[in-house]
Amino acid sequence: MIPAAFRYERPVTIHEAIELLGQPEAKALAGGQSLLPLLRLRMAEPELLVDLQDIPELRGMRHDLDQIWVGAFVRHVELAESAPWRVLREAAEATGDRQVRRLGTIGGATAHADPAGDLPAALLALHAVVEAVGPAGRREIPIDRFILGPLTTELAPDEVLTGLRLPQPKSGTGSSYRKLRQKASGFALAGVGAMVRIEAGRCVEVGIGVTGVGLQPYAAEAAEGRLVGTPLGDADVEAALEALLEGVDVQEDAYASADYRAKMCRLCATQALESARAEALG
């Protein structure tokens, strides 16, 4: 039994959901795999839970011309099987465990913004765009500006995260996710998503998303900048990754010192980039 009582609603349209979320202390519920533990620990005490599972517009994936739309209610198991980018499949597969992946959703994981969440790192690598709908209409927020801090996002209390926009994989692209798991919880002590596009032997586009290391998942822009134009050789990667943790307050806890985390983060990044490069070169 969850200690604090709350009301529960199951809207069938986004419009209804927005109205309900406009009530005081209302909270959206997707798969519940992050929210339910918070409720049980009294770390969240909403007065109203708005279960989004009956809203058909939040489901499925669509391929548009040069973009892919992933509905907020797409579950980790579905991503692991059929996401169009390998980095997303690998990050979904690395999330939680079998039971958690069955219920957990991409929209929930994104809105929850866990500092050690796996999917945010993949979404940052892909320069994904978050789509949200609220009383004032729809807006699109780049993922690096969506995540504001630990468990803190740009999403307003009465907005519904409806889906994510990703680029279509072009020829010459590759991506991968690498992670060091904390043995007991499975959360990332360090995790890195990488995406590269290679044209005529040079890297023309790159994305690096880092999780588990700082106070929030982030895009390693300085390192990305150093890789563009290079052939992604070992020396290029090593030089670029010196900037991987630039400006980041590397966290320290009982499981890993800041120094160890930083080292493991660079290792994950090296492996993720190497694997992405190998895929890009086919």
Partner 1 sequence: MQLELKVNGRLVRRDVEPRTLLVDLLRDELALTGTKVGCDTSQCGACTVLLDGHAVKSCNMLALQAQGCDVVTIEGLRDLVPEEVREEGLHPLQAAFWNEDGLQCGYCTPGMILSACDLLKENPHPSEEEVRQGIEGNICRCTGYQPIVFAVRKAADVLADAGIDPLGLPRQEAGR
Kindly give, in sequence order, each residue whose CB lies less than 8 Å from that of residue 247, ignoring residues fewer than 6 positions away: 222
In whole angstroms, how close is the CB of 39 to partner 1 at the nearest point? Answer: 8
Question: Which CB atom, from 36 or from 258, has the smaller least distance to partner 1?
Answer: 36
* DSSP symbols for 21-74: HTSTTEEEESS-TTHHHHHHTTS---SEEEE-TT-GGG-SEEE-SSEEEEETT-
> For partner 1, how many residues bind (rule: CB under 8 A)?
30
Question: Which CB atom, from 7 or from 138, has the smaller least distance to partner 1?
Answer: 7
Q: How far apart, in whole angstroms, are the C-alpha atoms of residue 70 and residue 199?
A: 27
Told to check if 36 binds partner 1 by CB under 8 A, we report yes
In whole angstroms, how close is the CB of 20 to partner 1 at the nearest point? Answer: 13
Told to check if 102 binds partner 1 by CB under 8 A, we report yes
Tell me the sheet residues that pair with 198.
203
Q: How far apart, in whole angstroms, are the C-alpha atoms of residue 255 and residue 243?
A: 24
Question: Which CB atom, from 6 or from 260, has the smaller least distance to partner 1?
Answer: 6
Question: Which CB atom, from 4 or from 204, has the smaller least distance to partner 1?
Answer: 4
Cβ atoms within 10 Å, residue 274: 18
Q: How far apart, in whole angstroms, are the C-alpha atoms of residue 72 and residue 161?
A: 7
| Residue span binding partner 1 (CB under 8 A) among the ranges 94-102, 125-133, 193-201, 253-261 | 94-102
Phi, psi of 87 (to 5 degrees): -60, -35
In whole angstroms, how close is the CB of 99 to partner 1 at the nearest point? Answer: 5
Cβ atoms within 10 Å, residue 15: 13
Give the H or E element holding residue 133: strand 129-134
In whole angstroms, how close is the CB of 3 to partner 1 at the nearest point? Answer: 8
Question: Which CB atom, from 7 or from 15, has the smaller least distance to partner 1?
Answer: 7
Cβ atoms within 10 Å, residue 40: 13
Residues 188-217 that bind partner 1 (CB under 8 A): none
What is the DSSP-derived secondary structure letter of residue 3? S
Residues 147-186 that bind partner 1 (CB under 8 A): 184-186
Token output for 167? 């680029």
Binding mask 54-93 for partner 1 (x = CB under 8 A): ----------------------------------------
What is the DSSP-derived secondary structure letter of residue 168? P
**Which of 17, 18, 20, 33 lies at the binding interface for partner 1 (CB under 8 A)?**
33
**Which of 65, 98, 235, 254 lies at the binding interface for partner 1 (CB under 8 A)?**
98
Told to check if 139 binds partner 1 by CB under 8 A, we report no
Interface residues with partner 1 (CB under 8 A) are 1-8, 10, 29, 32-33, 36-37, 39-41, 49, 51, 53, 96-100, 102-103, 184-186
